[in-house]
Amino acid sequence: VDFFFELYGNMPKNGPGSTESTLKALRMVPDIGSIKRIIDLGCGIGRHTKTLAENTDAHIVALDLLDEQVEALKSNLNKWKLSERVEVVQGSMGDLAFAKKPFDLIWSESSIYNIGFEEGLKLWKTHLSDGGYLAVSEAVWLIDKPHEKPKAFWDQSYPHLMTVSKTLEVIASCGYEVVGHFRLPYSDWWEGFYDLLTERVANYYSQGVEDKEKLEVLEQTQLEIDVFKEFHDQYGYEFFIMRN
């Protein structure tokens, strides 16, 4: 885990996304001025928490599980002068028992996979106000029969991947209405994420890493990037905006 953080740490993003896409999703939430309470689940180092804070008047709770992320989040909020605006909670998105009042908007970018899409939708429903909104980005298949390479990669790392139409069915079966959805562009995966990881992996290899566990992390990361380069037209990340 330590090496994982060394490799993935101190990057502008921890998953596919961008300020433009966060804003696009936020603009799809009707009557944003009436939103009083937002929770950002699996917020990481706060990339999108910053956008939410700067573009709404709501009280914002930012939640992440891991020490390293919460520390980086707090220091970023200080730097951005948002410490007063955003309440930081260290905890699991799978247990929101601390939240006494429902939220008007639950936000979760490239994080719901930690507990599973359907599980998250069901669990979070009880923490949303009536008519409240849920905005979630999640990996999806773009075609029904993907090539065996991306299929093998995703089956090993996240076997729950669904097509967009199947995801829409799950959303309806969980009792939400879809307000809108859109695909994250290629640049959301590449800029500030895979581009930096590509450089970092190459640097470690050039230093002649021998540790078996480190090599495994490097190989897995390189594989993820290579699969994406070749098959990004077969899977993607989709932002879904839903009403409770």
Ligand X SMILES: C[S@@+](CC[C@H](N)C(=O)[O-])C[C@H]1O[C@@H](n2cnc3c(N)ncnc32)[C@H](O)[C@@H]1O
CB of 15 to ligand X, least distance (A): 3
CA distance 131 to 178: 12
For residues 217 and 157, what is the distance between their CA atoms, to the nearest angstrom?
A: 13
Rounded to a whole number of angstroms, the minimum distance from the CB of residue 150 to ligand X is: 18
| Token couple for 66 | 């891991």
Q: For residues 68 and 209, which CB has a smaller minimum distance to ligand X in the complex? A: 68
- The span from the CA of 169 to the CA of 151, in Å, is 21
Q: Which two tokens stand for residue 107?
A: 């936000």
19-31 burial, b at 16+ Cβ within 10 Å, e below that, comes to: bebbeebbebbee
Binding residues among 104-123 for ligand X as defined by CB under 6 A: 109-111, 114
Tokens of 28: 């799809």
The nearer residue to ligand X, 66 or 209, going by C-beta atoms, is 66
DSSP state of 191: I
| From 19, 83, 92, 222, residue interacting with ligand X (rule: CB under 6 A) | 92
d(CA 27, CA 30): 7
Point out which span in 39-47, 176-184, 214-222, 227-235 binds ligand X (CB under 6 A): 39-47
Residue 114 or 157: which CB sits closer to ligand X? 114
Residue selected from 18, 37, 39, 42 as contacting ligand X according to rule CB under 6 A: 42
**Residue 37, amino acid:** R
Residue number of the CB closest to ligand X reads 44
Stretch that binds ligand X, among 7-15, 53-61, 118-126, 171-179 (CB under 6 A): 7-15
Inter-CA distances, 48 with 25, 42, 55, 70, 194, Å: 11, 11, 11, 14, 18
Instruction: Check binding of 221 to ligand X (CB under 6 A).
Output: no
| Interface positions, 12-31, toward ligand X (CB under 6 A) | 13-15, 17
Amino acid at 2: D
- For ligand X, the closer CB: 158 or 205: 158
| Interface positions, 48-87, toward ligand X (CB under 6 A) | 63-66, 69
- Closer to ligand X at the Cβ: 43 or 174? 43
**Nearest-angstrom CA–CA distance, 15 and 52:** 17
Give the C-alpha separation, 29 to 203, whole Å. 42
Q: Which of 44, 132, 150, 236 binds ligand X (CB under 6 A)?
A: 44
C-beta of 13 vs 151, nearer to ligand X: 13
Contact residues: ligand X, CB under 6 A? 13-15, 17, 42-44, 47, 63-66, 69, 92-94, 109-111, 114
